[in-house]
Amino acid sequence: MRPPYLLLDIDGVLIPFPNADGSTPATHARHDVVPAGRSADNPVTVWLNPDYGRLLMDVIRTGLVTPVWCTSWRQDATTLIGPLLGLPTLPYVDLPRPQITTSHPNGYLWKRDHVDAWLGDAPTVWIDDDFTGLDHAWAAERTVKGAPTLLVQPDPHHGLQPEHLTELMTWVSQLPAARTV
């Protein structure tokens, strides 16, 4: 079995939601970035934990997953966010831009139909803060059909934690291909 994809969200995962008072998490550093198509005098402020580049690289270097951005930052994930974490250029899922007012227009994550088509029958671990019960049912169904699927869902106010990556690596190491290496 080929290595599973590691689909990686940014908002609510690498950039936790702000606290009620708008303060930056103590562990994170503030950056101003200018997404593509946005005026340079109107940057977006983000906060990133500098340790997470290293943690993610520890996972990527194992070669046991194929990392891909899966975020509404789209290409900006590669050009803006990744470099701030010291990550190499990673591919990204070129998500559509639906006119929606909720992240669950059909009761499940808006990205999912596109991701489902993009994945085909490939195994994947997908880190996103915004799955619903229907997404978890989708993952279970894919797994039953022979496409092992793990959803990892950080609390968006805390974002990704080291134990999420431990969970991921434990899961990956138990896949059939990994066992034969």
Which residues contact Mg ion (rule: CB under 5 A)?
9, 11-12, 129-130
What is residue 65's DSSP assignment?
S
Cβ at position 146, least distance to Mg ion in Å: 28
Q: How far is the CB of 14 from Mg ion (least distance, A)?
A: 9
Contact 149, 139 (CB under 8 A): yes
Q: Got the DSSP string for 88-106? A: PP--B--------SSS-TT
Q: Angle CA(165)–CA(168)–CA(171) in degrees, nearest 5?
A: 150
Instruction: Tell me the closest approach of the beta carbon of residue 73 to Mg ion, in angstroms.
Output: 10
Mention every residue, 6+ apart, whose C-beta is less than 8 A from residue 106.
Answer: none
Minimum distance of Mg ion from residue 137's CB (angstroms): 19
Give me the least distance between CB of 128 and Mg ion, in Å please: 6
Give CA separation, 103 vs 86, 130, 132, in Å: 29, 8, 10
Closer of 9 and 65 to Mg ion (Cβ): 9
DSSP 102-156: SS-TTSS-TTHHHHHHHHTT--EEEE-S---HHHHHHHHHHHHTT--EEEE---T
- The nearer residue to Mg ion, 5 or 110, going by C-beta atoms, is 110
Beta carbon nearer to Mg ion, 5 or 9: 9
Compare residues 148 and 159 and give the one whose CB is closer to Mg ion. 159
Residue 76 or 129: the one with the smaller Cβ distance to Mg ion is 129
Q: Which residue is nearest to Mg ion (CB)?
A: 12
